[in-house]
Amino acid sequence: MKKLFLTIVLSVSLFFKSFADEGMWLPLLLGQQVYNDMVKKGLKLTKDQLYHINKASLKDAIIIFGGGCTGEIVSAEGLIFTNHHCGYDAIAKASSVDHNYLQNGFYAKNKGEEIPTSLSVQFLLRIDDVTALVLDSLKGLSGAERVQRQGAILANINRRMSDATQNIETRVSALFKGNQFLAFVYQRYTDIRLVGTPPESVGKFGGDTDNWEWPRHTGDFSVFRVYADPEGKPAKYAEANKPLKPKWYLPVSLKPLKDGDFAMIWGYPGGTNRYESSYGIKIATDINNPTLVKLRDMRLKYMFEEMKKDPAIKLQLASSYAGIANYWKFFDGETKQLLKYDVFGQKKKAEEKFNAWAKGKPEYENIFADWGKAYEAWTPFAKHRQYINEGIFGSPLIGFASSLIQLETALVKTGSTQADIKKAAEAANEQRKNFLAAENKLSDEHILAAVTRMFYEDVDKEQHPVGFYGNLKNTYGPLNDEATYKKYAADIFSKTIIFDDARWNAFIANPDANVLQSDPAFGYASTFYTNYSSKYLPKFQQFTAKNAEFGRIYLKGIMEMDPVKAKMMYPDATFTMRVSYGNVKSYRPRDAVFYDYVTTSKGLLEKYKAGDYEFDLPANQIELLKKKDFGQYMDPTRKDLVIGFITTNDITGGNSGSPVINNKGELIGLAFDGNYEALSHKLAFDKDLNRTICVDIRYVLWCIDKLGGGSNIIKELKLMK
């Protein structure tokens, strides 16, 4: 099995041309044919310069930034570039109304001005193939038993290959739906400091209107630095810490871009599911995505109403709002593209071909009949699950109240000690502090009222918590009246102990299950949680185990059915290091429409609207751009400042902040978005329309230098002209 998958990855590019620029390749298994194709497209680096275990290589400059982004090291003193939206939460937390770095921007003039954060970054040390070890331990197992055993095996490998004393962490990733397993070994650094950020009007220019759209004019970048102890080892924040001396850092290119230039992107794509079944496509387009979009649309509406009233509230909710909004638009676009290009129909045709081949083969011939039954059993409850995750617990108050179920368990569980209860109470008290700091009661009260009504109207009545809506009707009024839900939500917010310091402190000092259970916010959370977890969560767990099993067997069968096609397959993204390659490239999204491969300051000024929530810009930026004060960052071919560009690279969420690198290994931009015409990319890659949207590195440097006065940062970089 191990050799089979090495063959798949190593020989894939023999047939790569039919896949255009599709593919997120594992650098460990970057075979000669793939490398040869990269060279043919223009790459000038050797394979060892790209990836090497024992020698410094380009992979050593690529980091996991925070919890879900990519960053890159760009100086000999541990300077990090990533996206503005990746650093957004840290920037917001460092800000106050008096020192609003989110609104006004910030650049440290020296290392002493750099601001400590709670962020961490991870460097990849090596990748080990543990496929044989895992599969040998899973022989003869299937379904839930296999899932449980696999989880235990991976956890054991992770523990064995980790070392807390060195901040070394191992995470085994299941690839090809559990047919291959690789162990990724990382080292985590926790002293990360904010060095610079543009004003939010630059970093988020275009807001939700331009999100997932091209042309784009967003300066989506921020600057951090990684520190280590005097010996270069990971350490907690300390004044004695020194900037990390990296194994490799990226030089920065000031050269103009041309249509067709080679581009590769390194990073940590979060997740794709391109080997999904037709059943999975259908449930996504019919239930999961539309429900998520509807619920997030509601939450964003009420948050935005409060944010636009007060700068302090905008700052308070900014990070949460941005996260909700990002994938609200994504899943809306994904659904439209999946339907437009009939991905369901394409999947069905492939499955029909597989079924014809599978006849007479016991391991495979009944897969789709059984798979269909599994989806049929789960589908009636899929909307309920979305409502729990995106609606009921989408209310911050109810989300926090649900966390108190752990405290309730400690209070009522037979055998719980006073130490157990004290520990749970202290944890709840700490969580409450974080919750209150982020909570906006007005928007949240509206969200709670709205989602309670939406659940009543949208979710099958037989799945409602027993007696809940009957009691609501008897106490507050008709269930088809908006006022009923508003009164109910107002009651919860006014009577819960969670917002009452005196009552809360008394409760924490002497935790009592009766007090907690009688609280209206906890009662609401507990009612919906218990209803779902006792009746529908087991169904979901059964479904996911079967879905995983059928997916694994189907992919195994596909490889047996068509060995040639098997050689064209690459593993789905799993938030593990990947490299994609392609070209800077213009495109035609529809009839009579042509999109250039770059945007410039001319277009930025055309979009600018003074005082607008999404399209405002700093006054000094307008002045500098109108004077064409571009300095060394001007594009000589356009006599303008290039803001963004697009490439054909294959990326997904998690690649935010990824370096876009030219054929010589030089940084030319930061990836930050995809285009709306190809938002099906998690489930299906569009070889003609897929584009990655990037901020041009020359605009990043111009913002730091000319706009922000951070010339000290520029001096750290190795500029290639």
Residues assigned a catalytic role:
85, 220, 656
Q: How many CB atoms lie within 10 A of CB 139?
A: 7
CA distance 404 to 393: 13
What lies within 8 Å, CB to CB, of 259 at 6+ separation is 584, 585, 586, 597
**Which burial class, exposed, middle or buried, applies to 561 when counting CB atoms under 10 A from its CB (0-12, 13-18, 19+)?**
middle
Q: Which among 493, 484, 497 is positioned nearest to 445, based on CA atoms?
A: 493
Residue type, 395: S
CA distance 615 to 607: 7
Give the DSSP letter of residue 25: B
CA distance 409 to 424: 9
In angstroms, what CA-CA distances link 289 with 330, 384, 635?
9, 13, 41
In angstroms, what CA-CA distances link 98 with 94, 125, 436, 500, 709?
11, 42, 21, 28, 20
CB 246 within 8 A of CB 78: yes
The enclosing H or E element of 226 equals: strand 222-228
CA distance 172 to 220: 31
Classify strands 252-253 and 719-720 as parallel, antiparallel or unpaired.
parallel
CA distance 87 to 196: 10
